Copies of this chain bind each other. A is one copy, B any other.
Amino acid sequence: MSKELVFGHQNPDTDAIVAAKAFSYLQNEIGYDTEPVMLGEANAETKFAFNHFGEELPRIITTAADEVNSVMLVDHNEAPQSVSDIADVEVTHVVDHHRIADFATAGPVWYTARPVGCTSTIILDLFIENDIEIPVKLAGLMASAIISDTLLLKSPTTTDFDINALETLAKIAKIDSENYGLDLLKAGTDLDSKSDLQ
């Protein structure tokens, strides 16, 4: 089995980057050879989460076909949101919580979409279904992604699946999701970081 890249959408948010890291880890445990990458700079919120849990950010790519023949998409499926040369690689897996549009494959594919608040919520279920243990730091990152996408479970897109997933992940990561969540969201709206991004 040849190597595959796993990535979320352009202008990545915390879920796009964390879901790539989590799904790549899961797929490697199952027996695939994958590497998580990202399609642009991480924002201040995402950097805060990776710093907090002592994890390294994936590297940034702008094209995929020069490295691999096939890829796995997380947190998006629409071609305009994906890597620039998406038409030149085969998509073998998708995990996503958005509408499906402008997406097609030549052959059968693994596609897991669910109408929940965060891709990392779905990936937690995939870990459980495959009976793979989640590392403590990764659980912290996945909790961060849910906090980010659901604005600490307050966005209208929040479902019971997200509420239960955050509780499970916070327990593994040994964090208080309310306290940590406010710090995380604050990091994303921090004036200094914002001017840094502009």
Contact = CB atoms under 8 A, between A and B. Distances in A.
A101 interface: yes
Copies of this protein, total: 2
B100 A103 contact: yes
A132 interface: no
A67 B166 CA distance: 38
A113 B111 contact: yes
B106 A99 contact: yes
Size class of A's contact patch?
Answer: 20 to 34
B103 A107 contact: no
Interface in A9-63: none
Contact of A110 (B103, B104, B106, B115): B115
Contacts of A105: 99-101
A111 B111 contact: yes
A108 B125 CA distance: 17
Nearest to A111: B113
Contact of A109 (B106, B109, B113): B113
Interface string A97-141: 111111111111111111110000000010001000000000000
